[in-house]
Structure formats: structure tokens, C-alpha cells
Structure 1
Amino acid sequence: MKGVLLVNLGSPNSPEPKDVKPYLDEFLMDKYVIDVPYLLRALLVRGIILRKRPEASAEAYKKIWWEEGSPLIVLSERMHKKVQKKTELPVSLAMRYGKPSIETGLQELADQGVTEVLLFPLYPQYAMASTLTILVLAEEIRKKKFPQMTLTDVPAFYNKPDYITALANSIKSSLQGFDYDHLLFSYHGIPERHIRKTDVTKSHCKIDSSCCTTPSAAHKFCYRHQCYETTRLVIEQLGIPKEKYSLTFQSRLAGDKWLEPYTDVEINKMPSNGIKKLAVVTPAFVADCLETLEEIAMRAKEEFEEHGGEKFLAVPCLNDSEEWTGVAANWINEWAHAETPVA
């Protein structure tokens, strides 16, 4: 029997430091997030970051927290319910960090007699710190707890036509009535070394102006290429001229070289360059979360206005929209009637 496990990032149980700290510990101690030797990672995370970061992060979470709970969890649950209504297969929901866990999600499916699982990471673009860590942990749990199961994963869907159309339509709908000067595509940042580590050719990725547009097998796992390709395809559908959009990367840790240009730096320069009305879309996420609701819709908006900006629009993620949940359900239903995963 076939079933599906949707997997998103996760969230603390509450916006209080006592719950934020263990969540951050689980997240930052992941060897695919901070990819340094364990002792160095433990020193960095538990000896430095977790001394002050939980309080600051808790304050940020409090700004966006809903009555129902974490926006990411609530929106993922809404998506889950809508997708379940559009397919006959059992569908469970899990988070990479926090609750409900991947083990819990697999157990729910096993209890329904599922032996073939479609693992569906809710990330359009592939990255070590998102897609890969889900795939690795799920396989570890499967081997240990559910040896009777087989796992098939949904590949990064950054360029799938129906996803691109859903994203373009969502952006177009949000921009109605907003006379913007510029549309910014802001993607979550990752260290440049992650790009090189996932380069299957071991030589293609130069992280310059040319490698992401030069055909290569490396693109299958190159986060940077996939971000630029998502943007290109959406821009083609929307018909936006080159001078009216750009791409940046947000959310970085100090001390490392991360993908550039940086969202906050670029946004703060825009008003002095004549961009007074800015719209920002965050296509690395399918559900609104701390990075979209606090970092972009609140903090970036405030800084943009402080630097002379006049109007700021944070375009919502796909969340539980009918078109997006329909796309996801269609992929699931295609897999349900096929011998190979949806590609």
C-alpha cells in the first residue's frame, strides 16, 4: 500500500525561550546545517550561539505567532488537509525539527498499512540544509524502525511547469493594485561551501556569473542555479522586464562566506536608487514562516521605509492555496499510478 509523507522545516512548540532553545539546538546541531566536525559544531552552537540566540529568536517568534500556533505549522497543516482531500492515498505531515517528527509521520502511515512511502520535502530548491537532511534522516529512521517500508522522494521541483505557474499566478494576484517599482526575489541563504559540496562534478560550480547558466549535471543539486532558474521561469510567465526585478539571499550567519547579494543590504540601498515601491517574494519557502513574516514582512519593511522607501509589499507564500495544493496532489496521484517517482 502506498502513502505520502509531507515534510517541512519545523518550529518551536511555543515562542518562549524554553522551547526555542531545544528547537535551535536540534536545528543548528544538524551536521548538514552547520557542516563542521561535531566538537567544533557543539562548541559553536552550545558554547556561543545558544547563550543568547534563544531569547532573541523568541522575541521574533512572538511577533508572528498566531492564536492557533506557529504559522509554519498551521499553514502546513492546512495544506496537508487540502492535499488529503484531493487524493485517496494516506497522507501524513512531519517536520524535520520539532513536532510532529518524521518518525511520528512514518508511524502514522505504517499504522494504516503503508509500505511504500512518497517522501515529499516541501522545498522547491535542493539544498544540503533542507532537502538532503530530510532524506538522510528519513532513511535512517526507516532502516531502524520501519524496515518493511520503501521510500521514494519527490525531487526538487524548482522548474516544474505546474509549480512555476502556481507561483507566477500567486505573485500576479498579490501584485494586483500595487504599482511597484521593483520585484525582489529573496531566497534563503546558504554558505558557499554547500554549493561546492553538492557539486557532483567536483569542478563546475565557481559561484560566478556564468556557471549557473552553463549546462551541467551539477545543476541537479545546485541550490544557487535552481534559485536563478525559478526566478527566470517565473519572470518569463509574468513578462516582467529585466530592469524591474532582481534576486538576493537572506538569513546568514556571521563568520562564513554566504551566497550574495544579501537581501537586507540590497533592500536598504534601493530607495536611494529610486526604488520607492518594493514587492518581495520568497520562493525558497512554500509556507510563510519566521523568515518571511518577521525577517521580510516586518524587519525588511521597516528598514526599507527608514531608508526612504514609501511602499512595501511582502508577497505571501503559496501556503494552502487551491492551485498549489492541487499541484501537489496531482504529483501524488501521478506517483500512485506509476512505478517510478514523479520527475
Structure 2
Amino acid sequence: MSKKGILLVNLGSPDSPNPKDVKRYLGEFLMDERVIDVPLWARNLLVKGIVLNTRPKASAKAYKKIWWEEGSPLIVLSERLQHKVQGKVDFPVALAMRYGSMTIKKGIQELVNKGVDDIFLIPLYPQYAMATTETILVLAEDIRQQHFPDIKISDLKAFYNNLDYIKVLSKRIAKELEGKDYEHLLFSYHGVPERHIRKSDVTKSHCDPSPKSCGKCCATTSPAHEFCYRHQCVEVTRLVGDYLNLKEGTYSSSFQSRLGFDPWLRPYTDRTIERLGKEGVKNMAIVTPAFVSDCLETLEEIAMEGEEIFHEVGGKEFTTIPCLNDDDEWVTLLAQWINEWARI
């Protein structure tokens, strides 16, 4: 009889906001060929020749702004989630990160040490993307083949359109906005280069992530949607909008965090916040459904930089909606998915 175990996997974090630790983390993250998907020589030139000589100090300052006494918010929140999920299932639950010192290999080893030989790997991303889910699954399989050939690993598929997930997310948004008079709700998703969308298109003919397409292909049924990050993001916005009966024109989607000069998914979050303020929106709210745990991108880039941009162009109230983190209903849903997997 096999023994089952659960491996939750999130993005990762530097060990500290010290520039040396941040540089080490950024080096591992940005040298991932599924994050910066250019030839190795070009990636080396960009990352080691430019980014790691200029960005670590600035990134360290950003991390210091959001660092908690207990450590990295993303790590702390992920550990809280792990602890709560463990309390609801009868299988060992381990936690790992794609980048940083809490490696996937360590997470698998922890479960193997407890006798586990059948692992349910849960990438903590609602949407599928090359730079998130795919890189986790590819690395986990490489580690399994090299170090743990006798174990089995299966994974939770992208759950962006799971109606139970949409319900949990929608209720969290509604709770945070209760009693608040907002004019626009912005769904901000982590950005990726447009070429990632084309590379992930299994049909090689469907996806057109450029602004001129206006998302028409995202609204057209296609096998490409299983791996199309842009479609899955706009679908979350649509489904939540329907669930909460949001009025057309009072909510929209955007994409944050971009690097380099290639076109990334648009519209950009910072420019959208600026536009809304210039158009006279005084009270806005923003939610970040590409993340289930608050992190640098949500706590600093959105809650701090985004609010500053909004105020600079005349906006007044800027409400940042926390991620699901260790929300009890989210924990219950994860436990439900785990138990359903265990019964198969």
C-alpha cells in the first residue's frame, strides 16, 4: 500500500532583505529559462551582466519595506496555510518554494522521510503559466527522476475556473469591500511577456495576446485555453464579476511587473491606475488573483507604489484586497481537493 503526502509549492523568497541574499535569490529566479526564455548567452548577459549589478539594492529596499518580524510575508503566510491544511487532512503536508532555500527537493525529502511514496503536488497558482506552474512541475519531475525514482507525483491542475474557488475568492473580495464606496475594482495579475502566451499555445494558431486583439481569442473556445495564462486571468475576472453581479464598466483586468523592452501583457497595472485617477475616479479597489499569498508584488508594488501613483493623479481612497492567504474557506477548499485526490 502506498502512503500519500501533500507538497504545497509557492514562488519563494530571499532568506533576508539583505542585498546579498536578494542578489542570490534574483539570480536563481531570473536565470530560470522559463522566466526569461531567451538563449543562455543572452540570459547570462541580461541577468549576470546587467540586472544583478543594478537591481539587488533596489529590490532589497523594497523587501525591507514589507518584511515582517517573523520573516518574509510570503513564507510566513505559506507556512500558516500549510499548518491549517495539515489540521484538516490525514496526510503529511510539506511546503516548498520554487526558488530560495526551501527547495522542492527538501520538500519531497521531508515527505519521503515520513514514508510517503505518492505525492500530490499543489502549485499555489490559480492560473497556468510557463514561469509559474510549468517551471515547478518540470523541476519536480527532474528531481523525482534523479533522486526519488520510486515515488509517484501527480499535480493539481490550474483551478482558475473552478466554481468553488471562484466562490471563495468572490466572498473574500465582497467581505473586504463591505461598506466601502468604490467606483472601480481592478483585477491586477502578474505580467508575462506576450511571447509566453504564444509559446504555450498548443494549437500554435489561437492565441494573440497583443492589445489589437482585444482579447477576442480569449473569449473563443479553444484547447489552447488549458495553458493560456491570459485567457485564464480574464476568465477569473469574468467569473467573479458574474458571481458578484458587478456592473459593466466598474471593473477591469490589468497586468503588473514587467522586465526588459519586449511587449508584456497589457494593459499595464501602473498605467491603468494612473489612467483611472486622471479620468476622475476617486475611490478604487484592487485585487491580485494571480497570487494566493501576499508577497512583494502585492504588498509593495501594489499596496505602496500603486497607491502612490493613484494619489499623485488625484485619487483619494485606494483599497488593496489581501490575497486568500490562510483564509479558512480557502483552507477548507484545499483540503476538499486533497481528499478528492486521495479517494481516486
Same fold (TM over 0.5): yes
Q: Map Cα deviations across residues 123-161 of structure 1 (whole Å, 9 max, x no partner).
A: 000000000000000000000110011110100000001
Please, what TM-score do these two structures have when normalized by structure 2?
0.98
Matched, 1:225 2:231: yes
Counterpart in the other structure of 1:330:
336
Structure 1: how far apart are the matches of 2:117 and 2:260? 43
1:195 to 2:197 alignment: yes
1:252 aligns to what SS in structure 2?
Answer: coil
Matched, 1:128 2:134: no
Match of 1:167 in 2: 169
What residue is the counterpart of 1:276 in the other structure? 282
1:245 is matched with 251
CA distance in 1 between counterparts of 2:39 and 2:260 reads 18
3-state DSSP class of the match of 2:324? coil
Post-superposition Cα deviations, 1:44-76, rounded to whole Å, max 9, x if no partner, equal: 100000001000000000000000000000000
Q: Name the SS of the counterpart of 1:39 in structure 2.
A: helix
The equivalent of 1:289 in structure 2 is 295
CA separation in 2, counterparts of 1:33 and 1:328?
Answer: 27
Please name the residue that 2:318 is paired with: 312
In structure 1, the partner of 2:86 is 84
CA distance, structure 2, for counterparts of residue 253 and residue 145 of structure 1? 34
Does residue 46 of structure 1 match 2:48? yes
CA–CA separation in structure 2 for the residues paired with 1:231 and 1:327:
20
The 3-state SS of whatever aligns with 1:293 is helix
CA-to-aligned-CA distance 1:188-214 (integer Å, 9 cap, x gap): 000000000000001011222210000
Residues 1:299 and 2:305 aligned together: yes
State the one-letter code of the partner of 1:214: T
Aligned partner of 2:5: which letter? G
TM value normalised by structure 1: 0.98
2:236 is aligned with what amino acid? T
Distance (Å, rounded) in 2 between the aligned partners of 1:289 and 1:124: 15
Distance 1:160 1:112 in 2: 31
- Matched AA of 1:174: E
In 1: Cα distance, 2:179 partner to 2:48 partner: 47
Which amino acid letter does the alignment assign opposite residue 168 of structure 1?
Answer: S
Cα displacement string for residues 205-242 of structure 1 (whole angstroms, at most 9, x for unaligned residues): 12222100000000000000000111111111111101
Q: Which residue pairs with 1:176 in the alignment?
A: 178
Q: CA deviation at 1:243?
A: 1.1
Q: CA deviation at 1:273?
A: 1.0
Counterparts of 1:118 and 1:238, CA distance in 2: 32
Determine helix, strand or coil for the equivalent of 2:154: strand
In the TM superposition, what whole-angstrom CA distance separates every residue of 1:93-144 from its partner, at most 9, and x where no partner exists? 0000002110000000000111111110000000000000000000000001
Deviation of residue 272 (structure 1)?
A: 2.0
Give 1:4's aligned residue: 6
Name the CA distance, whole Å, in 1 between partners of 2:249 and 2:38: 39
Gaps of 5+ in 2: none
**Distance between the aligned counterparts of 1:285 and 1:51, measured in 2?**
28
Deviation per residue, 1:222-274 (Å, 9 max, x gap): 00000011111111111110110011000001211100000000101112212
Q: Structure 2 CA distance, aligned partners of 1:148 and 1:110?
A: 10
User: For residue 251 of structure 2, what is the amino acid of its counterpart?
Assistant: Y
How much has 1:292 moved relative to structure 2?
0.2
Q: Deviations over 1:300-327 (max 9, x none)?
A: 0011001100100000000000000110
Q: Is the 8 A contact 2:185 2:250 kept in 1?
A: yes
Q: 1:18: which partner in 2?
A: 20
Structure 1 residue runs of 4+, over 3 Å off?
A: none
What is the letter of the counterpart of residue 171 of structure 1? Answer: I
Residue type of the partner of 2:293?
A
Counterpart of 1:275 in 2: which secondary structure?
coil
| SS of residue matched to 1:270 | helix
| Paired positions, count | 338
Please tell me the residue identity of whatever aligns with 1:303.
I
